[in-house]
Structure 1
Amino acid sequence: MSLEMKNMNGVPGDGAFRRAELRGTQWEPTYAGALSFMRRKYSRDLKGVDIAVTGVPFDQAVSHRSGTRMGPEGIRKASAENAWGPFWPWNFDPFDTLAVVDYGDCFFDWGRKENFPETLESHATEIISTGTEMVTLGGDHYITYPLLKAHAKRHGPLSLVHFDAHRDVEPDDGGRIDHGTMFSYAVREGLIDPKKSVQIGIRTVFTGERTFGFRIINADEVHDSNAADVAKIIQRVVGKNKAYLTFDIDCLDPSVAPGTGTPIPGGLTYHQAASIIRKLGDVNFVAMDLVEVSPPYDHAEITSLAAASLIMEYLCLRAAQRGAKGFDIPE
């Protein structure tokens, strides 16, 4: 089918608000038009929607460089480069299988930081109460904590599949809005089951941290293994439990993803991270977030592009779990 014919999904151009169908891909120039994530329709009508993509432009919990409030905007902009058809190496368009909308951003009063956790939890609850899954664009990593609260209310204690340079279980006296402490809260509050959870790419340690029973796959272990072996560890630990995927972009090496607040050398390549995600087809995921993209520190949008592409890997995985199959390239 020609690009011109594919472009007739409704009317040509600006599919973010003019497309007629939730499924399928409407081709547009990558350099122009209204920006949404992957040119999906902006909508808060979740009837018939499988997955809602939403942004959380919050960076008031950072411990080093700010800027992740620009993350949702940067990821949406970078995603336009891939919003034209089948995604390699899956060789299918996940939007032929999944009805996905861009739900817009979570609105909060930046002058009332103390109200933010409850505001985001309510935003998430509104979405998932309809049976719609969430993919969330951060924002700093603290946002995962209110999101876990909302999801645990619906699904019970979750397995956390956590890609990061940091474990985010630093000890404190409780109640902090901090992107380095919140997973210890999530364990103590029963939001996640640490013995069925995995942290991948870790290459930092803080005095007073506990393992809490997490299976920790340090970055060096990833480098010394192949993607299939790492994926097998994750699948074995998670088992059949419902799982939440959180991906801190600083899991990737700064040479791959410089646009982040706390870059740590020695991280994963995009290929390593994506190859692991591609092999997690047996994991029962209920949601994903991708956090800590800071466009002010990016170069040529490579961090935002990596983030958008990792989200696409997840969407392709979810489509494959629903039966989507790739095509063979003819001789």
Structure 2
Amino acid sequence: MTNFRPVDPSLNPRFAGIRTFMRLPYNKSMENVDVAILGVPFDNAASYRPGARYGPEAIRSASPLVRTYSYQHQIHLFEYVSGIDYGDVPVIPGDIHETYNRIERTLTPLFEAGITPIVMGGDHSITLGELRAANKIHGKLALLQFDSHADVGDVHLGQKYTHGTPFRRAVEEGLIDPDYSIQIGMRGSLDGPEEIEEAKELGFQVITADELFSMELNDLISTIKNRVKDTPVFMTFDIDFIDPAFAPGTGTPEVGGVLSREALQMMRGLTDIHFVGFDLVEVLPLYDKGEITTSLAANLMFEMIALIAVHKRKNV
């Protein structure tokens, strides 16, 4: 059976056609599918800049220039995975709980079918709905979080469900096992030390940006793998993990982050991990410059697909 793959650019120029991610076929069928790209255009739980609802659209528009071969992994991705663009979850602006329900209803059949979803946000609140769906099928998950904020607050502006609280809620709901979870990249000024200390008290391993910059890449990769072990892993990548010089299009920018090159190198090292789902959140096109944020987001998602393809190649 032929894999679903992007349009051949030698037959149809990259600037042509209806925008899907990497020009993958838009498809709602789950037959012969390994990877499904979805958008969750929801940003009502953001605390500062609005506009991440336009992230999926903008990432799709920037993605046709992403090719299909990984030189670092020496692999043609779509020889090993069959991928589709599954469209967007029909979110309800202003209603986070019904949006969570719809995320869960949309993703659960994909997990049941053995498909790995890669979700484009939206603000970081959406990850809670994704974790609810993944947990139904895979049980307690290890969370691998690249972010400048820990997002383990309890209440913000009187609300318990915001983009600053999803991982406390995920621990409370038993969706993730913090003893196998790790948060990487926390930095910047804080309202108090509890923003980091509470994550540690919940059981997360936390690698702050200062600690990250003192580590060799191989040490970081080993630390991640030793933490998650063989547990099913959900990776969540907040684009504000990247320094705003390289990713200005985001809702809560924090200076002093990693370079885009460094982030890509980190992603490429994450082979031999049992990934069951991914997301990339907090892309806000209004503040982007020359599509540098959306282009980076699309390439980070390419690296996520590459990790799935490498895993499939090992098991052929």
Whole-Å separation in 2 of the counterparts to 1:183 and 1:111: 21
Q: Provide structure 2 residue ranges, at least 5 long, that are not aligned to the other structure.
A: none
1:95 alignment partner in structure 2: 78
1:264 alignment partner in structure 2: 254
Whole-Å separation in 2 of the counterparts to 1:112 and 1:267: 32
Matching residue within 279, 292, 299 for 1:302? 292
Matching residue within 45, 61, 72 for 2:29? 45
Whole-Å separation in 2 of the counterparts to 1:175 and 1:149: 19
2:269 alignment partner in structure 1: 279
1:220 alignment partner in structure 2: 210
Q: How does 1:99-248 map to 2 (within 5 A)?
A: 99-172=82-155, 176-204=160-188, 205-207=190-192, 208-209=194-195, 210=198, 211=200, 212-248=202-238
Q: Provide structure 1 residue ranges, at least 5 long, that are not aligned to the other structure.
A: 1-19, 325-331
Whole-Å separation in 1 of the counterparts to 2:79 and 2:3: 11
| C-alpha displacement of 1:117 | 1.3
Given that 2:6 and 2:24 are in contact with CA atoms closer than 8 Å, whether structure 1 keeps it comes out as no
Report the 3-state secondary structure (helix = DSSP H, G, I; strand = E; otherwise coil) of the residue aligned with 1:101: strand
Whole-Å separation in 2 of the counterparts to 1:206 and 1:45: 47
Report the 3-state secondary structure (helix = DSSP H, G, I; strand = E; otherwise coil) of the residue aligned with 2:150: coil
Q: Which amino acid aligns with 2:15?
A: Y
Q: Which amino acid aligns with 2:87?
A: G
Q: Name the Cα RMSD after superposition.
A: 1.9
- 1:25 and 1:322, CA in 2 relative to 1: closer, same or farther beyond 3 A? farther
Given that 1:38 and 1:76 are in contact with CA atoms closer than 8 Å, whether structure 2 keeps it comes out as yes
1:322 alignment partner in structure 2: 312
- Indicate the percent of aligned positions where both proteins have the same amino acid: 40
Name the larger-Rg structure.
1
Whole-Å separation in 2 of the counterparts to 1:108 and 1:86: 33
- Of stretches 288-297 and 114-123 in structure 1, the one that deviates more from structure 2 is 114-123
Given that 1:23 and 1:97 are in contact with CA atoms closer than 8 Å, whether structure 2 keeps it comes out as no
- Of stretches 88-97 and 48-57 in structure 1, the one that deviates more from structure 2 is 88-97
Report the 3-state secondary structure (helix = DSSP H, G, I; strand = E; otherwise coil) of the residue aligned with 1:322: helix
| C-alpha displacement of 1:61 | 0.4
TM-score (norm 2): 0.91
1:3 alignment partner in structure 2: none
TM-score (norm 1): 0.87
Q: Which amino acid aligns with 2:181?
A: S
Report the 3-state secondary structure (helix = DSSP H, G, I; strand = E; otherwise coil) of the residue aligned with 2:117: strand
- Between the two proteins, the alignment pairs up a number of residues equal to 305
Whole-Å separation in 2 of the counterparts to 1:321 and 1:280: 11
